[in-house]
Amino acid sequence: MELRFCVDGAVKRLDVFLSERAEELTRSRLKKLIESGNVTVNGLPVTKAGSELKSGDEIAVAVPDAQEYTAEAENIPIELVYQDGDFAVVNKPQGMAVHVGNGNEKGTLVNALLYALDSLSGIGGVLRPGIVHRIDKDTTGLLVVAKNDKAHVSLAAQIEKKDCKRTYYALLEGELKTEQGRVETDIGRHPTDRLKMAVLPDGKGKRAITDYRVVARFGTEFTLCRFDLQTGRTHQIRVHAKHLGHPVAGDPVYGYKKQKLQTSGQLLHAQRLELSHPSTGQRMVFNAPLPPVFQEILQKLCRKYAVDESGFAALFAHSGASNV
């Protein structure tokens, strides 16, 4: 479906104009259509919601046909690190999308959770039951899942207020010169490739903050780093690693075209999760070891560069939960 309009009045922002004229579409839907390149002004794509319009401008909005998705229970093995009546913590494997949509109709974490758990919160809707936050399809590691709406509200608020601590480990290409630091930028859709995110000029995207610390160095070939998220933007660590000049090893989107390692995806793992129990308020910590492929690569690099792997033995330990 395509909607067409002509500006016949005073100057207005694109999103304001469309919200007044395209009444059948919500503001959030319009924003996504603009950012995804589905809106043209005088035949040219415009991807900034705040773009100014002038009298006589012709606007076209291409609205993709709606797709019907359903999330059904599937008997897919998943590792439950912890669960009680309020929430569960899952160690997601590589290659598994978190929820149904964008071409992922089966085999998602949601499909597996509907089979494995006795309940999930409904705040996320029928396609995202229980989902409080996400990690990329090819990123491994911990996610917290809400089993009822009260828990969902509490957990989502903790993430919003940065009370939920999330720690990742990644193997970066090359030798990172600094030992630790903070990357603070705006992140938004790539100006020419709408499937990618990018660092944008200040004020042009959403603020993204990542703290990092070097864990081990493997000559000038690779650097193992710990990342602590202060915000949770799409592809944040991967984009910030590229911004540092050292993309995540194995990253097919933000990494080098010629990869040194043959992997099925980026070597990025959500290893630690700290949060307050939604009902008791008790602080809890969850850990998940690096996946086998990641461990094997690190062990080979340790042998090659005579690095003592005992320094990060906790990354090879079993999954677990504990109170703080």
Residues 153 and 169 occupy one common structural domain: no
- Provide the pLDDT for residue 126: 66
Residues 152 and 185 occupy one common structural domain: no
- Provide the pLDDT for residue 68: 46
CATH code of 41's domain? 3.10.290.10
Residue 213 confidence class, pLDDT cut points 50, 70, 90? very high
96 falls within a domain: yes
Domain count, the chain: 3
Residues 308 and 199 occupy one common structural domain: yes
Residues 187 and 316 occupy one common structural domain: yes
Q: Is 193 a catalytic residue?
A: no
DSSP 10: S
Among residues 57, 86, 136, 138, the one annotated as catalytic is 136
Cα separation, 81 vs 90, in Å, equals 6
H-state helical runs in 107-255: 109-116, 149-160, 236-243
100 vs 191 pLDDT, higher one: 191
* SS3 label, residue 197: strand
Domain boundary among 160, 182, 214: 160
Residues 86 and 31 occupy one common structural domain: no
35 falls within a domain: yes
69 falls within a domain: no
Q: Convert the pLDDT of each residue in 56-95 to its tens digit.
A: 889 999 887 544 456 788 999 999 999 999 999 999 999 9
28-32, 122-126, 167-171, 200-204: which is most confident:
167-171
74 falls within a domain: no
Residues 144 and 194 occupy one common structural domain: no
- Provide the pLDDT for residue 192: 84
User: What single string gives the DSSP state of each residue in 249-265?
Assistant: TT-TTTS-SS-SS--SS
Residues 151 and 221 occupy one common structural domain: no
Residues 125 and 257 occupy one common structural domain: no
Decide: 66 and 1 in contact? Cβ < 8 Å. no
By residue range, what is the domain housing residue 127? Answer: 79-160
- Provide the pLDDT for residue 25: 72
Residues 301 and 170 occupy one common structural domain: yes
The Cα diameter of the chain in Å comes to 71
Compute the average pLDDT of residues 271-283.
97
Q: How many helices (H) and strands (E) does the chain have?
A: 6, 17
283 falls within a domain: yes
Residues 146 and 184 occupy one common structural domain: no
Structure-token pair, residue 323: 């109170």
- Provide the pLDDT for residue 70: 63
DSSP 312: G
Domain boundary among 114, 140, 160: 160
Domain boundary among 138, 160, 182: 160
Residues 173 and 289 occupy one common structural domain: yes
156 falls within a domain: yes
* SS3 label, residue 266: coil
At residue 63, φ and ψ (nearest 5 deg) are: -105, 110
73 falls within a domain: no
Nearest to 269 by CA among 181, 183, 170: 170
Structure-token pair, residue 118: 């006795």
At residue 224, φ and ψ (nearest 5 deg) are: -90, 125
Residues 12 and 123 occupy one common structural domain: no
CATH code of 308's domain? 3.30.2350.10
Q: Convert the pLDDT of each residue in 248-266 to its tens digit.
A: 999 999 999 888 888 888 9
268 falls within a domain: yes
